[in-house]
Amino acid sequence: MVTTDYTSGTSEAPALELLSSPSIGEVIAGKLLMLIVFLLMCIGIVIVYSSGAGWAVTKYSSSEYFLWRQLTFALLGSFTVLLVAQIDYHIFWKTSKIILFVSIALLTLLLAMKLVGLISGAARWIGFGPLKFQVSDFAKYAIIFHFSRLISEKQGYIRDLHNSYYPLLTLLMIVVSLVALEPNFSTASLIALIGFMLMFIGGVNIRHLLTTFSLLIPIAGVFAIAAPYRVARLLSFTSGDEKGLSYQVVQALIGLGNGGLFGLGIGASKQRELYLPLSYNDFVFVVIGEEYGFLGALAVIALFAGFFVCGIIIAKHAPDNFGKYVASGITTAISLFAFVNIAVACHLLPTTGVALPFISYGGTALLFNSLGVGILMSISSYKKRELKKGSLTDLTHGRPG
C-alpha cells in the first residue's frame, strides 16, 4: 500500500511511480460496496412505501407520496455516488477547513435562530421548503474530512498533547456541543465517537483518549438526565417490567414478534399505521422484521455488515493516510448509525431518533450518505484512475505505459 501522505504545506497527490496496481480484494470490495448500497436503496423504496402509505393518505391525501419522494432521492443518490466516484477525493483535503467552518457557522446560526424565536423546538433543520437538511449530517462529514487532514499532517507528532491532541479535541467538542444544544444528544454522541475513533486509528496517545472519556462520561450523563424526555427513555430502557416500557418500544417488540421466521408478507404489517409511530423512519427496521421475518431482518443486517467489511478493505488499501482516515470515518459513521437504529428497534439501546441509512425515509440524509459512498468509491478506484492516466500520458509522449 502506498504510504505517501499529504504533509503540511503541500497538497500533491501520491506520485504515479509509487502507485501499485489495485489488488483483487480492492476491486471486489469496491464493486460489492456499490451492489450493497443499491440493494439497500431498493429495500428502502419498498419498505418506505409499505410502511408509509397509510400515513401518506392521512397527511398528504396520496398513498404514493412517500414512494415517489423516496424513489426520487434514491435516483439522485445513485447519481451522486457515480458522480463523486469520478472526482479525486483529495478535493476534500483542500476544502476541509472551509467545510468545517461552514458547518460550525450553520450550527451556530441554528442556535441563534432558536434563541430569537425564529425556530421553536429542536433547531436541527435549515433551508426552505423541500430544500431542507439536518446540519448535523453536514457537520459529521466536516469532522471526518478535517480530522483526516489534521491527523495526516500531525503524524510526526501525533502523540503530543498540546500540539496534536488538544487542537483535535477542541474542534471536536465545539461541533459536538453545538449539535447537543439543538438538542440532538444521540447524534452528538455518535459524532464524538467517530472523532475519537479517527484519533485512535491515527495514533493519538491512548491515555489521552481514556482520560478524556473519564471526564466526558459524567458530563454526558448529567446532560442526558437534564431533559425529562431523555430521563423517561432511560427509565423505560432499564425497566424490567413491560408496563414500564415506552409505547414505542412495546409496539416495536410486538411488530418484530409478529414477523416470526418468514414474516407476514409485503404490505402485511399490522403495526405500521395504527400502532407504531414513525414506522417509515426511525422504526423502519420493525416493519422489515414484521413483513419479512427474522430471515429478512438478518439479510438487512448482513448487508450492513458487508458494507462495513468492504469499507474497511477500501480504507486498508487507500493510496495515502488521508484516504485511509476518510474511508475509515465514513465507513464507521454509516455503520454506526445503522447499528444504533437496529439496536433501538430491538430494545438493545434506549429509544433515540437515528435513521437507518439508505432505508429510512428522508431525502437529504440519503444524499449525504450517497456522498460518503461516492467518496469511498473514489478512494477505491484512485489507483486505477491514476495509473490509467499515467499510461495514456506515457503513450502520448511516445513511451509505452
Better pLDDT: 77 or 269: 77
In a domain, 13, yes or no: no
The whole-angstrom separation of Cα 1 and Cα 54 is: 52
In a domain, 351, yes or no: yes
Q: Which sign, positive or negative, has the C-alpha torsion 158, 163, 167, 169?
A: positive
Average the pLDDT over each of 11-20, 50-59, 109-118, 328-337 and give the range with the smallest value.
11-20
pLDDT recorded at residue 240: 63
* Per-residue CA distances from 288 to 3, 73, 280, 332, 363 (Å): 43, 20, 10, 23, 20
Structural domain range at position 354:
18-393
Give the residue carrying C-alpha cell 478493505: 313
In a domain, 2, yes or no: no
Q: Which grid coordinates belong to 61?
A: 391525501
- CA dihedral defined by 364, 366, 371, 373, rounded to 10 degrees? 170
The whole-angstrom separation of Cα 182 and Cα 184 is: 5
In a domain, 5, yes or no: no
- Helix (H) or strand (E) holding 105, with range, is helix 96-115
- For the stretch 220-264, pLDDT in tens is 888 878 777 777 777 777 776 665 567 778 888 888 999 999 999
In a domain, 263, yes or no: yes
Whether residue 246 contacts residue 233, with contact meaning beta carbons closer than 8 Å, is answered with yes
Percent of the chain with pLDDT over 70: 88
Mean pLDDT, the chain, integer: 86
pLDDT for residue 328 is more than 70: yes
In a domain, 147, yes or no: yes
Number of domains making up the chain:
1
pLDDT for residue 356 is more than 80: yes
Instruction: Classify burial at 49, counting beta carbons within 10 Å of its beta carbon; exposed 0-12, middle 13-18, buried 19 or more.
Output: buried
In a domain, 24, yes or no: yes
Among the listed residues 240, 236, 206, 234, the one whose alpha carbon sits nearest the alpha carbon of residue 221: 234
Whether residue 158 contacts residue 203, with contact meaning beta carbons closer than 8 Å, is answered with yes
pLDDT recorded at residue 160: 94
Give ∠ CA 73-146-160 in degrees, rounded to 5.
150
CB atoms < 10 A from the CB of 125, how many?
A: 14
pLDDT for residue 276 is more than 50: yes
- For the stretch 363-399, pLDDT in tens is 889 999 999 999 999 999 987 777 777 654 443 444 4
CB atoms < 10 A from the CB of 167, how many?
A: 12
Q: What is the mean pLDDT of residues 138-159?
A: 96
In a domain, 294, yes or no: yes
Whether residue 133 contacts residue 126, with contact meaning beta carbons closer than 8 Å, is answered with yes
